[in-house]
Amino acid sequence: MNRSPSLDSRFLNRELSWIEFNFRVMEQAEDATLPPLERLKFAAITATNADEFFMVRVGGLKPLQRAGVAHPDPAGMTPAEQLAAVSERMHELVARQHACLRKGIEPLLRKGGIRRLRLDELNAAQMRHVESQFHNFLFPVLSPVAVSLEDEFPLLAGLGLALHVRLAPAAAGAGPRHALVAVPKNVPRFLALPGESGFAYVLLEEVIRAQVGHLFPGVEVLDCAAFRITRNADMSVREDLAGDLLDQMREVLTERRESECVRLEIEKRASKESQAFLRAALQVDDADVYAVPGPLDLGAFFRLAGLPGTDALKAGNWSPQAVPEAPPTEPVFDTLKRGSLLLHHPYESYDPVLRLVQEAADDPNTLAIKQVLYRVSDNSPVVAALMRAAERGVHVTALVELKARFDEERNIDWADALARAGAQVIYGVKGYKTHAKICVVVRREPGGVVRYVHYGTGNYNEKSARIYSDISFMTCEEDYGADASVFFNTITGYSQLSKFRRVEAAPLGIRPRLRELIEAEAERCREGEPSGIDAKMNSLADPELIEALYEASRAGVKIRLNVRGICCLRPGVKGLSENIEVRSIVDRHLEHARIFRFHNGGDPKLFISSADWMPRNLDRRIELMVPVEGRENADKLDWILKTCLADTAQSWRLRSDGSYERRRPDARHPLLRAQQAFQLRAESRAEAAGRQAPVFEPQRPAEPRKSS
C-alpha cells in the first residue's frame, strides 16, 4: 500500500523530503530562461543524486522490508510504505527528466551545434566511421557472455551500462537464448562524428547495438536493449570486531561490487520478454524496474557541459575573486596576525586556505601541521603539501577518514601515500565518522609558539570549493588555537572530548549547546524580550532539535530556516510551528554552508558548523560548531545568512504538507538572487582593492656613519 505521511504527523518523511529536493533541482533543468548546457547540468545532477539515493537510502530500507520490520519512522511510515512512496515519486522524476531532455534541452542544443544523432540520421561517411570504430576498437574489447536463469548470473558492475541480447532458439521448440554485453567504461561514451560543425555524436551503446550481430555470427538477434543496475551500497565496517580498519574497508568495497540489485533501469524499447528475464535474473520487484524513455545514465551527460567552444550555451562565468584582506604577495601568517579572516566560497577565492597549508609545508619555522581529510580531489595540492612537509621533517598528523562514503578507495590511497612520506596517519575514530573541517599549523615565532587554524564548513577540496557554497574561518587567536589542540589530542589519543574554550564538538557537545541556545530564545520571548532564530543547513531531521524548535515557536519565537535538502520539520502548523518558515535555495552553486544565528537579546551569537541537524551528525560523527566573533567577521556572516533568507529568485518555501512552492518577489520582498548578490559583492570588493591608489614612500639616504 502506498501511503504518504498524514498531516497529523509532527514530522515529514526523510526519504520523500530528499526526493522533493531533487524535484526542485529538476525545475532548474526545466527553466527555459537558462542556457541549455546549464539546464543539462541540472538534469545530470538529478540523475547522479538518484544513483546515490538508491545505493544508500533505498539500499538501507530494502533489508528492513524483507525482514518484515513494521516499526514506523518519525513520520509514521513503515519501511514498506516508504519504499512504495519512493518508487511512485522516482518514476515520476524519471518521466520528467526525459521529457525535459527530449522536448526542452536537446532541441536547443541542436540549434547550438551539439547534436545527438540516431544511426538512421548518419550520412554514408559517418556510418563508415562508426563501423570502422566498432571493428577496429570495440570488437576486440567486447566479450559477450551467455546467461540463463538456471545458471549463476554473471557479476555486473553497479551503475555500469550493459546490453541484454535475446537470441533465436538453438533448435525448434526450444526457448530463446540470452547473452550480456558489458559496455566498456574506458571508451568514451560520446562517439564524435566527422563532417559536422559543432559537436555531433552517437552514443556508444547505440553503436554496439547496431553491430551486435557480429558478436553472434550465424545467430538471429531477436532483441537488444541497454540496461543498468544499481547495487546496495549501504554497508559499513564492523568496528566492534578485531582487525585492521584498512583491510575491513577493502572488504566493504568488495561487498558493494557483489551486493543485491536495488534498481533495474532498462530502455523502454526493450521487449516484455527481455524485461521479464532481467527481472527474474536480478531478483528485483516490479516497483524497482524503471523503463527509461531515453538514454540511460543521464549523469554522464554532465561531460557535455565541458565541451570547448560552447560558451554561448552556458551561463556566464562566475570566477572566484581575490580577497582584499589576504593579498597573494603577503604570507598568510602575516595576514592572520592582522586579524581573523572569514571567507565565502566560491565567490571568494579558496587560495588563502591552500596557501596556509602550502606555505606551512615550506616554512622552516613550522613545527607541526594537523589536519582532517574527508573528501579531497584526485590530485590534491593539500595532500601534496602535507607529504612535502612530512618529508622535510615537519610533524604532520593527518586524520584520513576511510569511512567517507564513495571516497573510501581514494582515501585509502592517500593514507598510504601520506604514511610513506612520514606523516602520522590516523584512520578516523573507532565507532564514528570524523566529518569536522579543521587544520592547525603550529609555528615557532619570536614571541613563542603560535597556532594558525582553519575551521570550515566544506571539505579540503579545491575543486568542490569552486561549486559548493561554503564558509572558511581562519584565525591565530589563542582560544581557537587552544581548542584546535584539544580537539586533535582527543581524537588521536584515547581521551574523551574535553571542555573547549569556544568551540563545541559532536557527539557530546553540539546538540546540548543548540538546545540551550534555542531554549534561551524561547525563554526571552516568554519574558517579552526580543528573540529570534535564523539558521542555514543542508538537512534538518533530528527529532530532538525539531521538538525544541516547535516549543520555541509555541513560545512566540520567530524562526527562519534555510534548509537546502531534507527537512523533516513541518512548518506553519497552527499551535505547533506557525512561527517557523522554511526556505530552500537551489541555484548555480550547491548550498553547503551551515550558519546559525541566535538573537541573544540584541547581541547576536553566530556560528558556523560542519554538522547538519541530523541524528547521524550529532550522534555518530565527530563534528565542530565554531562561534564567529569580532564585529567585521560576524557582520559579514550575518549578511550572508540574511541574504539567503531574503532570496526571492531561486528560493522555494516549504508548505506544511511537505510540498514546496517557488517564492516570487512582491511589494514587500523585492527581487533578490542571493548567489548573484554574493558574486557581485566579491567582484566589487576585489575591483575596489585593485583601484586603491598606491602609497608613495620616498627613498631616504642612509644615516651617515659616525667616525670613531
Q: Which of 129, 344, 345, 435 is catalytic?
A: 435
Indicate the SS3 state at residue 395.
Answer: strand
Residue appearing with cell numbers 516499526: 71
For helices 14-29 and 36-53, the axis angle rounded to 10 degrees is 160
Residue appearing with cell numbers 517557488: 662
Cell of 595: 550558519
DSSP assignments along 204-215, one per residue: HHHHHHHHGGGG
DSSP assignments along 247-268, one per residue: HHHHHHHHHHHHSPEEEEEEET
Largest CA distance in the chain: 120
Cα distances from 247 to residues 237, 254, 413, in angstroms, run: 10, 11, 13
Cβ proximity of 21 and 540 under 8 Å:
no
Cell of 677: 548578490
Cα distances from 566 to residues 208, 535, 539, 552, in angstroms, run: 40, 14, 5, 21
Beta-carbon contacts of residue 278 (< 8 Å; ≥ 6 apart): 164, 227, 264, 266
DSSP assignments along 563-603, one per residue: ESS-B-B--S-TTTTTTEEEEEE-SSSEE--EEEEE-GGGS
Q: CB count, 10 Å around CB of 501? A: 12
| Residue 502 DSSP symbol | S
Cα–Cα nearest to 623, from 457, 502, 494, 387: 457
The span from the CA of 188 to the CA of 272, in Å, is: 30
- Cα separation of the two ends of the chain: 103
Cell of 207: 553503436
Radius of gyration of the chain (CA): 28
- Which pairing describes strands 261-267 and 289-292: parallel, antiparallel, or unpaired? parallel
Distance of CA 149 to the CA centre of its chain: 39
Identity of residue 495: S
Told to judge if 669 belongs to the known catalytic residues of this protein, a careful annotator would answer no
Cα distances from 308 to residues 198, 199, 311, 455, 464, in angstroms, run: 10, 10, 8, 36, 21
The span from the CA of 560 to the CA of 647, in Å, is: 12
For the annotated catalytic residues, the residue numbers are 435
